Amino acid sequence: MKTVILLVLLLSISFGITYAADVPVTTPDGSVIIYKGDLQTTSQTNAFYALYDGINQCRLYIKLADGIFSEGLNELQTSVDVLPGQDIIFPSISLPPSTENTHNLIMQCLGPVQDAKRQVTFSTDIVVFDIEPNITTNINLELYLTKLTVKSVFNNNYVTVGETYQLETVANKVIEITLDPGETAFTLTYDIGDQPKLVSTQSGDLLGNVVYDPTFGNVSTEDLSLNVNNGSMNISAAFIVGDVILSSPGLLVDNLPDSSAESKVYNYIARGLEPDTYKVVVTVDGVEVAYNLDVVVGGGASVPATTGRIDSHIINTLGEAMSLAIDFTTMYDDITAGTLTDPVVRLFLVKGGEI
C-alpha cells in the first residue's frame, strides 16, 4: 500500500484503458484528460493494479495567487521518483499564509520512461485552496486515470501495412482499425477494461488472438487528504478499488479462462481491503455456485472449499492481498452439455458476516 507524503509514453503491444466523464487538466508540462468512474469488472481491477504498481514518478504543481511573493514568483513544482512498493515522499514545502482563495494545486503520477518519454497515469483535478496561519485546512483530493496514447504493434506476417481490419474487444465490440503506412501498427483508445481480443479480416476471417499486456491499464478513484497548517503541507494517500466488490451483484468476471485451454482455473487478487473478516461469493447467472475455490490471504495457506461461499477469511492489515483460485471446469462442462449458455459470472465479498 503506497502512501504519499509531502514534508508521453509510447507503448508497443500494451493497451491503455480510458473511462467516461473526461475532465481537462492543464499543468506546466501541458494538458491531460482525466477519466472518472468506478471499476465494474475484474479486468478493470486487474488493469488498475498493473498501473498502480507501475507508478515511477509523482509530481506536484502549486500555483499561488499573484502578489504573494514580492519577486513575482508564484509557481512551485516538485517531483519525486517512486520505487516499486515504496511510499511516495515529497520534500517539505513552505508557503506563506494567505487569505487569497486563488491558490491551486495539481498532483500527478507517471509511468516509467519508455522511448525517452513518460506519460501521466494518475492526475487530480485543479484544486483551489487557502493557506491560513495557525489553522489546519483539510483538502480532499481524488486521483483519476488519465488518457493514455497507445500504439499497438502486430508481430504477424498475415497483416499488411495500411490495410483495414476488424478488432473485437473483450466486451464483444467490433472496431475497424487501419494499420499505419509503413508499419503493422495502429493507435487507438479503448473503454475501461475492454482490451482487444481478436483480429479478423474485413470479411470476418479470424487472424488470431491479441496478447494483452496490462502494464498500463486503468486506475480507480483515489482518496487523498491535504493538510495546510502554518504554511506546511502534508499529503497521504491510500489506493482503493471501490465498493463494487463489496456488494451484490459484484464485479463482472469478464476475463475467464479460454474454454479450449487445459486449465480452467481463474485467478484473481483482491487488494485494498480494510482489515476485517470476509466471505467470498461467486455467482453464475445470479445463483451462488458450487465450483471449487481455493483462497489464500496474504502469505497464509490455501483454503479449499466446494461451495459458492467461502467463510471467515481475515484481512489483518490494510494492503494485505486476498488471492482467489476458482476452478470453472464444471461450468465449462455444463456449457458443453448445453445446460448453460453464455453464463454471467460475478464475484463479490461480504464484509463481516452474512448478507
Q: Are strands 88-90 and 4-6 parallel, antiparallel or unpaired?
A: parallel
- Alpha-carbon distance values, 257 to 268, 327, 352 (Å): 12, 10, 30
Q: Which of 214 and 257 is assigned the larger pLDDT?
A: 257
Average pLDDT of span 238-250: 73
CA-wise closest residue to 119 among 54, 191, 36? 54
Three-state DSSP state, 135: coil
Give Rg (Cα) of the chain.
Answer: 23
Stretch 286-302: mean pLDDT = 76
Residue 350: band (very low, low, confident or very high) from pLDDT cuts 50, 70, 90: confident
DSSP per-residue letters across 239-273: ----SGGGSTT-EE---PPPTTSS--EEEEEE-SP
Which of these, 155, 178, 169, 175, lies nearest to 198 by C-alpha position?
Answer: 169
Name residue, grid cell 491535504.
226
Distances (CA, A) of 314 to 206, 267, 295, 309: 46, 19, 11, 14
Highest mean predicted confidence (pLDDT) among 64-73, 95-104, 319-328:
319-328
Contact between residue 213 and residue 13 where contact means Cβ atoms under 8 Å apart: yes
Question: Would you give the distance in Å from CA 230 to the centre of its chain?
Answer: 35
CA distance 242 to 117: 31
- The H or E element containing residue 296 is strand 292-297
Indicate the domain borders of the chain.
4-148+216-238, 153-209, 244-351
Average pLDDT of the chain is 76
- This prediction has a pTM of 0.71
* Overall size of the chain counted in residues: 355
